[in-house]
Every structure is written in structure tokens, then in C-alpha cells.
Amino acid sequence: MAVIEVNHLIRDFKIGGGGGGSLRLLHRLLGRSKTLKRVVDDISFTIEEGDFVGYLGPNGAGKSTTIKMLSGVLVPTAGIVRVLGLEPFRHRKANAGSIGVVFGQRTQLWWDLPLRDSFKLLGAVYRVEPERLQRNIALFTELLDMGGFLDTPVRQLSLGQRMRGDIAASLLHDPKILFLDEPTIGLDIVAKENIQQFLKQINREKKVTVILTTHNLDDIERLCKRVIFIDKGRVLFDGSAEGMTERFGGQRYLVLDTEHFDERTWDGPPIARREDNQLWFSIHDDKEIASMVAAASERVAVHNLTVKEPRIEDIIKQLYALGEA
Amino acid sequence: MNAYLALTWMSFKNRKVYKLNVFFRVCSSVLLIVVLREIWTAVYGSGASGLTVTLADMLTYSVIASIIRTLIPSDFHYDISQRVQTGDIVLDLQKPWSYLAMTFFRTLADLLFGLVYVVIPIAAASLLLFPIGVPTGAQAVWFVLSGLLGYGIAFSLTFLVGLLAFLFTEVGGFGMIKSTILEICSGAMIPLWLFPAGAAKVLELLPFQGVFSIPISIYIGKLQGAAMWHGLELQLIWAASLLALAQVLLVVFNRLLVTTGG
């Protein structure tokens, strides 16, 4: 079942000129210096229940704007957004009850009060029955290891602790869909792994559909079954994480360091790429490797050989480059 | 617990975190009362005519005006503006609550807080230092009702200023205009009956007097019977229309809201 449908979604921002502040009133009244910027430009995708989707793209690509439209905070300029069959902006309250949102750079927790108090308030706001709330708090406290700081004022928490608190807070009402906007930004490796483990678990056990924006490559590798890559408001890639690897530099290479290579007389295996004294051969099947090495070493002196695995950094770089083109 | 009441309770607890702030709020109120008392005593001592009410009533008037000033929500537009500026407003707009009601119940915590931690000390201080009359029976009930309606008007005015942040982000200037108009046109400093007749007539049609002049006049017994009913009616109409306007503009401005980044 598709839980999210996005169809030809467009969002423009009017960027007012003349700086901020009250003077913008004059500019607006005079209708001057308004420029229209298309932040989301004809995006379409559907997301199935239980998916774990990485929503990727460089800064300013339109990721957060899409998430704001999915959570009903921003109204689309054109196109259709449906979350569990409802248009989020029109049915903001109903939609809010079935989704959880974490904006990694903001907090929905009460700064000066203990974490536990924020949980209780959210329980009341989302009308979660007291027993279910207690159960969820206990469960998340255990999974996210929050026991040590549940009664500490949020302003005294470390970033990693606060982020765990924020993620738990967004799940107290058992939402069907969880939007995470950079939940691992600025976290150390331990906090990051704890959160990744947790997200994997709620996706698997509670069947929560997760949409995650991130710049952390290991988030993608460890968590995302599917990747949607956007840039300048457009979808550049939409498919499985393996599909992405295959299509963009997914190739594995046999790399030989040689000397005295002459392209004109070469009659060995086809060369995919050449970098100075390195020869790159595409590997389609592991069985080829031995014969390739043998064939190459008959023709040139081989000093070293390595097999290059696809690296997700390279793939992302390629995708970014695709956006620039 | 009901979501909105839970919100009021949380805001109340949150308020208590900064207790020193309260102490200074009380101090500034007491200071203002002392100054106004001196001014009015001097005015009455100068033998000016047409002052309408007795000195004792006038002194009571300024004490009650000072108390109301500390209780009405007058600056939460800064919070809204700041949340629009940082983009945190998306968190408020994303929740399954009415943004208007949410803001109202949050500011209500300030009222509760003010009643407990500001009004009681001031009332105690003024009873000891400069005794004022206290209404009883029905008059007290109508005063409280009138005060609550005035609270509704003051809330709506500040909320409307805050909403402008959805369009302009920074609303400090609008807030200052609102505060000045409210201070002058509401009878907070100078009772409306001391204004020129023409000006007083206009001011009596506007919402501002509903915040100060009407409740205080009921308190000192200047507004009674039919005139009091008329005053309460006017307050009710203004409070309801301003709240309705706030809700309509919220829906319109929400569509125009632009939040970029993170």
C-alpha cells in the first residue's frame, strides 16, 4: 500500500528584496523586487508502507521543503501530495496524528524542563492513552538508552542525548510514518550508531515507514532500502540503494599498476580507464579476475594489483556532478 | 489531561525556572504605582477642576491599572517573530493543535503565574503601604468578567501583531506602535474621562478601552447599571471579532509563510 504519493509537486518561494524587517512592508506594498524561486520543481514519487527511504541531495536541493509539505506546514504551489490518502495542508491535524517529524537542527523539547515533561505534554497533545504512553516511554528509554537523563532539563543534555530525546518524542503517538530531517547531524559515532540501530528496529518491528534526509553516508549504507536523490528541486535518481550503486560507479574494478604500457599495441582485456600508470579493468564476474591478471601480466610488468569496490562517496559525488551538468 | 490545559501547566512550570525575573517584575510594578500616586496626588492638590472622580478612586485606578498591565499578554509577538526567524515555527504548525488556541493557552500560563507571583505580592504591598478599596459581591464578579474580556482583547491584539511576522519576520516596530496606542487610548495612564469630549467619544468605540478603562471603571464603581452592561457588551463584541479576525488571518498568512533552510 502506498502511504505517500507525490505527484508533479511544485513549490515556489517569493524572495523579497530590500532585506528583512519592517521596511519589507513598503516593498511588498509597492510590489517591487520580488523574485520567484522554484525550490521544488515537478517532483513525483510514491512510498510504500514499511519502506526506509533516503531522501538525498546537496544543501538547498529542496529536501526540507518537500518534508515540510509532507508534514502539512507548507502549502504546495502546484501538484498533489497525499499522505495516507489525505492532503497534509488541508488536513493538517489529522495528518499530524499519523506522522512523526524530527527536524534535526531544531528541537520540539522544552528547553528548561526535564525530558520526561516534554514526553508527557506530547502524550496529551497527541491524545495518547496513559498506559500506551508509559509503555512507549519505557520502551524508547530502554532502546535509546535514555534512563540516565530522563529527568535532566533539556538544555543540559548533550547533542546526542537531545537528538535521542527528539526522536523518541516524535514516536510517542505511534505514527505510521516518520520524517527525519538530518537526525544524525553533528553526532559522534556512538550516538549515531545507537540512533541507526534504533531506526532500523522501529522500521522492522513497528513497521514504521521512514523517510530520512541526511548527508551522512553511513546512514544510507546501513539503513536505506531505497534512495531518492534530488537536486535543484528535481528528482535525479529514484531506486533501490543497490540500483544506485550499480548505476553510478557501481562497477568494481581490477586496478593494475604497470610500466611501459603502450595503448597502440595493447591486445589484452579491454581497458575501462587509464590513470597515469594505472590500468582499470571492469569486473563483471569474479571468475574473470584470474584470467585478466594473467593476460595483463603477459603483456606488461605488473607492480601491484587491487580490486576497487564501489564507494558510496563516489556515487554521491557523481550524483552531485549530475546535478551541476 | 486535556492537551491545552497540559500546555498551560507546562508553560507555568517553565516560567518558574526563572524566578529572579519575577522579583523585578514586582519591583517595577510597585515603583510605577508609587510614581503614579505621587503624580495624581499633586494633580488633585493643584486644585484642578473637572477631575470627575475622587482622589481615593483615582489612586485605586492607577493601582489596578498597574496590576492589569503586568497581567495582560503584551509581548509574545517577539516569541512568534523569533520562531519565524529561526524557522522553529514549523514545529508549532506541525502539531495537531490549533495554533491560535495553543498560543492562547500558553500565554494563559503567564496570567496564572502573574496572579500567583505578581498580583498577590503587589496586592499585599499596596494594602500595607497605600490601602485601596476592594469591590465586593456582584461588582467584584463583573470586574473579573470584564478583566477577562479585556485579557481576550489584549491577547488578540498581540497575536495579530505576532501574525505579521509570518509576512515580515521582524515585528518589533509593529509591537511598539501597538503598545503605544494601547497605553494612550485605553485609559491605562490617563482615564478616558479626562480626554477632550470628542476624542473620548472616538476612544469609547475602539477596542483598547476594553483592556483598561472598562474593567477599572467597574472596579471603582464608576461604571454601573446600564452603562456597565454597555461596556461589557462592547468588550465581548471586540474580543470575539478580534479573535475571529486573528483566526482568519492565521489561515491566510499561513499559506503565505515562507520557511527556508534546515
- Spell out the per-residue pLDDT of chain B, length 262, in tens: 689 999 999 999 988 877 777 778 778 888 888 898 899 999 999 888 888 899 999 999 998 998 899 899 999 999 999 999 998 999 999 999 999 999 999 999 989 988 888 788 877 877 787 778 888 889 999 999 999 999 999 999 999 999 999 998 899 999 999 999 999 999 999 999 999 999 999 999 999 999 999 999 999 999 999 999 999 999 999 999 999 999 999 999 988 887 655 4
| Residue A238 φ/ψ, nearest 5 degrees | -145, 115
User: Is there a contact between B257 and A74 if contact means CB atoms under 8 Å apart?
Assistant: yes
ipTM over 0.90: no
Q: A114 - beta bridge partners?
A: A153
User: Is there a contact between A96 and B86 if contact means CB atoms under 8 Å apart?
Assistant: no
Q: What single-letter amino acid sits at A252?
A: R
Give residue for cell 490617563: B190
Which one of B18, B93, B167 has the shortest CB-CB distance to A73?
B93
**Which one-letter DSSP state was computed for residue B208?**
G
Q: How many CB pairs under 8 A join A and B?
A: 93
Query: Which pairs count as long-range contacts for A194-202, CB under 8 Å and 24+ apart, including other chains?
Result: A194/A144, A194/A145, A194/A160, A194/A164, A195/A144, A195/A163, A195/A164, A195/A167, A196/A222, A196/A223, A198/A143, A198/A144, A198/A164, A198/A167, A199/A52, A199/A167, A199/A223, A200/A52, A201/A143, A202/A171, A202/A178
User: Is there a contact between B261 and A64 if contact means CB atoms under 8 Å apart?
Assistant: yes
Question: A200: closest CA among A52, A71, A92?
Answer: A52
Question: A93: closest CA among B100, B158, B87?
Answer: B100
Q: State the Cα–Cα distance between residues A260 and A297, nearest whole angstrom.
A: 12
B172 chain-A contacts, CB cut-off 8 A:
22
Total count of domains within chain A: 2
Sign of CA dihedral B100, B106, B108, B111: negative
| Residue A197 φ/ψ, nearest 5 degrees | -60, -45
| Residue B161 φ/ψ, nearest 5 degrees | -65, -45
Please report the pLDDT score of residue A173 as a whole number: 96
Asked if residue B261 belongs to a domain, the reply is no
Please report the pLDDT score of residue B157 as a whole number: 98
Are A162 and A199 contained in the same domain? yes
Total count of domains within chain B: 1
Asked if residue A36 belongs to a domain, the reply is no
Question: A66: closest CA among A207, A168, A212, A171?
Answer: A212
- Could you tell me the residue range of the domain that residue A94 belongs to? 50-246
Q: Of A246, A262, A279, which one is at a domain's C-terminal end?
A: A246
Are A191 and A56 contained in the same domain? yes
B10 near A123, Cβ under 8 Å? no
**Pairing between β-strand A252-259 and β-strand A301-308 as defined by DSSP bridges:** antiparallel
A39 chain-B contacts, CB cut-off 8 A:
260
Asked if residue A41 belongs to a domain, the reply is no
Tell me which of B81, B92, B102, B168 to substitute to probe the interface with A (most A C-beta atoms closer than 10 Å).
Answer: B168
Question: B150: closest CA among B61, B72, B74?
Answer: B72
Q: State the Cα–Cα distance between residues A72 and A3, nearest whole angstrom.
A: 15
- Could you tell me the residue range of the domain that residue B24 belongs to? 3-256
User: Is there a contact between B2 and A105 if contact means CB atoms under 8 Å apart?
Assistant: no
Q: State the Cα–Cα distance between residues A93 and A178, nearest whole angstrom.
A: 16
**Which one-letter DSSP state was computed for residue B193?**
G
B90 chain-A contacts, CB cut-off 8 A:
68, 71, 73, 103, 106
**Pairing between β-strand A234-240 and β-strand A34-48 as defined by DSSP bridges:** unpaired
SS (H, E, C) chain A: CEEEEEEEEEEEEEEECCCCCCHHHHHHHHCCCEEEEEEEEEEEEEEECCCEEEEECCCCCCHHHHHHHHCCCCCCCEEEEEECCECCCCCHHHHHHHEEEEECCCCCCCCCCEHHHHHHHHHHHCCCCHHHHHHHHHHHHHHCCCHHHCCCEHHHCCHHHHHHHHHHHCCCCCCCEEEEECCCCCCCHHHHHHHHHHHHHHHHHCCCEEEEECCCHHHHHHHCCEEEEEECCEEEEEEEHHHHHHHCCCCEEEEEEEECCCCCCCCCCCCCEEECCEEEEEECCCCHHHHHHHHHHHHCEEEEEEEECCCHHHHHHHHHHHHHC
Are A173 and A304 contained in the same domain? no
Are A88 and A165 contained in the same domain? yes
Asked if residue B252 belongs to a domain, the reply is yes
Q: How far is CA B134 from the centre of its chain?
A: 20
The dihedral over CA atoms of B195, B198, B204, B208, expressed in degrees to the nearest 10, equals -60
- Total Cβ atoms within 10 A of residue A1: 7
Give residue for cell 464608576: B222
Are A115 and A62 contained in the same domain? yes
Q: State the Cα–Cα distance between residues A122 and A133, nearest whole angstrom.
A: 9
Are A230 and A260 contained in the same domain? no
Please report the pLDDT score of residue A285 as a whole number: 80
Q: A228 - beta bridge partners?
A: A55, A238
A13 near A48, Cβ under 8 Å? no
Distances, alpha carbon B51 to alpha carbons A107, B57, B194, B221, in Å: 55, 11, 7, 16
Strand order in the sheet with A34-48: A34-48, A2-16, A78-83
Asked if residue A12 belongs to a domain, the reply is no
Are A277 and A216 contained in the same domain? no
Are A240 and A279 contained in the same domain? no
Are A270 and A237 contained in the same domain? no
Please report the pLDDT score of residue A206 as a whole number: 92
Q: Does residue A39 sit at the B interface (CB-CB below 8 Å)?
A: yes
- Total Cβ atoms within 10 A of residue B62: 23
Q: Does residue A125 sit at the B interface (CB-CB below 8 Å)?
A: yes
Are A230 and A187 contained in the same domain? yes
Are A71 and A138 contained in the same domain? yes
Asked if residue B70 belongs to a domain, the reply is yes
Asked if residue A325 belongs to a domain, the reply is no
| Residue A5 φ/ψ, nearest 5 degrees | -125, 125
CA distance, residue B95 to nearest chain A CA (Å): 6
pLDDT in tens, chain A (325 residues): 799 999 999 999 877 554 555 665 666 555 555 678 899 999 999 999 999 999 998 888 899 999 999 999 999 999 999 999 999 999 999 999 999 999 988 999 999 999 999 999 999 999 999 999 999 999 999 999 999 999 999 999 999 999 999 999 999 999 999 999 999 988 999 889 999 999 999 999 999 999 999 888 888 888 999 999 998 899 989 998 888 877 776 677 888 888 777 777 788 888 888 888 888 888 888 788 888 888 888 888 888 888 887 777 777 777 777 766 6
> A104: nearest CA in chain B?
B262
> Which domain CATH number covers A155?
3.40.50.300
Asked if residue B262 belongs to a domain, the reply is no
Asked if residue B179 belongs to a domain, the reply is yes
Are A176 and A279 contained in the same domain? no
| Residue A147 exposed, middle or buried by CB count within 10 Å (0-12, 13-18, 19+) | exposed
SS3 content of chain B, % helix, strand, coil (to 5): 75, 0, 25
A257 near A303, Cβ under 8 Å? yes
Asked if residue B114 belongs to a domain, the reply is yes
Asked if residue A70 belongs to a domain, the reply is yes
Question: A178: closest CA among A101, A74, A71, A83?
Answer: A101
CA distance, residue A234 to nearest chain B CA (Å): 17
User: Is there a contact between A110 and B14 if contact means CB atoms under 8 Å apart?
Assistant: yes
Q: State the Cα–Cα distance between residues A266 and A268, nearest whole angstrom.
A: 6
